[in-house]
Amino acid sequence: MKFSLRQIEYFVATAESGSIVQASRQIPISQPAISAAIAHLENVFGISLFIRHHAQGLSLTPEGRMVLQEARTLLLHAQELGGSLNGMLGRVQGEVAVGCMTTLFPLLAPDLIQSFSATHPEARLRVIAGHHEELTEKLRDGEVSVMIGYNMPMPQAISFQPLSALPPYVFTSVDHPLATTGRVRLEDLADEPFLLLDLPFSRDYFLQLFSSAGIAPRIAGHYPSMDVIRSLAARGVGFGLGNARPRNQNALDGKPLAYLGLDDECAPLVYGLFTVTGQRLPLRVSAFLDMCIGNLSNRNLPGTI
């Protein structure tokens, strides 16, 4: 478009007041700016919009009166469009893309999707599973608006809102010699085969637990899936470590597991919400963050004990 709504506004104000001086006081804007806008419109349309009367202001040409009628309609439509958009933006609607760590995804995603849809029926939540590096990149690139993950080192451009702490626990088969003890120490597991969750950050966290206790674990396998580790542990292949303790004590194949607390002083993982620092978030994203803070802060993860 070769002209702006602002220039149309200046023309209408001048036509209605009959004077550039009066129009400049009403808007307000400088007289040269109004004169330049009118000259630009006349050049674009190839017509004279006003008859200039020396010391007596302006009057519209016949063509100017036609343009004035259309210009008023154009400004009215623009005003209606602005009101409509403001109304839309004032409602929680549209899609919210959220990245969620794979270890939290099976527990959090169903509850978040259901709760968000129930509270905001015009909005839709799309949750993407991934590991730390993947989701951080998606957050920085704008593919997701929020990332749900653990308190780990992040660039200063990303802010963290903690939700709750998740202390580590042990899981074994129900016929493991330690299964009935209820609680163990890491030194009790030093000679037991350890099934390591081999994902970025998770791997380092679990190995650091042993390192802090002065123990070198006997790693029996590296696996990228907690469900695989749970199934292997239920079969007696080894033990696993986790932080989100599911209420369901069966592996995917139905075999039962025993959950054991740790008596060691182990640093818990804190999970929470990551967003780009200083970003102006749309209402639908702010509504999702508020829901998470209200439903999850200092509470158990959905489906956990």
> Quick one: three-class SS letters along 225-238?
CHHHHHHHHHCCCC
In sequence order, what are the residues at sequence separation of 6 or more whose Cβ sits closer than 8 angstroms to the Cβ of residue 158? 136, 139, 140, 274, 275, 276, 277
Span 99-109, average pLDDT: 93
Please check the confidence at residue 55 and state whether its pLDDT lies above 80. Answer: no
Report helix, strand or coil for 211: helix
Residue 2 gets the label, from left (phi > 0), alpha (psi -120 to 50) or beta, of alpha
Query: What pLDDT shows up at residue 220?
Result: 96
Report helix, strand or coil for 299: coil
CB burial class (10 A; 0-12, 13-18, 19+) of residue 55? exposed
Query: What pLDDT shows up at residue 239?
Result: 98
Using alpha carbons, select from 156, 191, 167 the residue that is nearest to residue 259. 167
**In the numeric block, which tokens belong to residue 34?**
């109004």
How is the beta sheet containing 146-150 ordered, strand by strand?
123-130, 94-101, 146-150, 269-276, 158-166
Span 54-67, average pLDDT: 84
Percent of the chain with pLDDT over 90: 63
Residue pair 174/180 in contact (Cβ under 8 Å)? The answer is no
Query: What pLDDT shows up at residue 88?
Result: 61
* Tally: H helices and E strands in the chain: 9, 13
Residue pair 166/276 in contact (Cβ under 8 Å)? The answer is no
Alpha-carbon distance of 101 to 104, in angstroms, equals 5
Query: What pLDDT shows up at residue 83?
Result: 64
Percent of the chain with pLDDT over 70: 97
* CA-derived radius of gyration, the chain: 32
- The amino acid present at 95, given as its one-letter code, is E
Assign 84 a pLDDT band (cuts: 50, 70, 90): low
Residue ranges of domains in the chain, CATH in brackets: 5-89 (1.10.10.10), 94-165+269-296 (3.40.190.10), 168-262 (3.40.190.10)
φ/ψ (deg, to 5) at 214:
70, 30
Query: What pLDDT shows up at residue 182?
Result: 93
Q: Which residue has the tokens 């969750």?
A: 197
State the chain's mean pLDDT as an integer.
91
Please check the confidence at residue 95 and state whether its pLDDT lies above 60. Answer: yes
Span 221-227, average pLDDT: 95
Q: Give 111's DSSP letter.
A: H
Please check the confidence at residue 301 and state whether its pLDDT lies above 70. Answer: yes
In sequence order, what are the residues at sequence separation of 6 or more whose Cβ sits closer than 8 angstroms to the Cβ of residue 84? none
Span 276-303, average pLDDT: 91
Span 177-182, average pLDDT: 94
Going along 174-224, which residue ranges are E strands? 183-184, 193-197, 218-223
Residue pair 300/245 in contact (Cβ under 8 Å)? The answer is no
Span 258-285, average pLDDT: 92
pTM: 0.69
Residue pair 149/132 in contact (Cβ under 8 Å)? The answer is yes
Assign 1 a pLDDT band (cuts: 50, 70, 90): low
Please check the confidence at residue 86 and state whether its pLDDT lies above 60. Answer: no
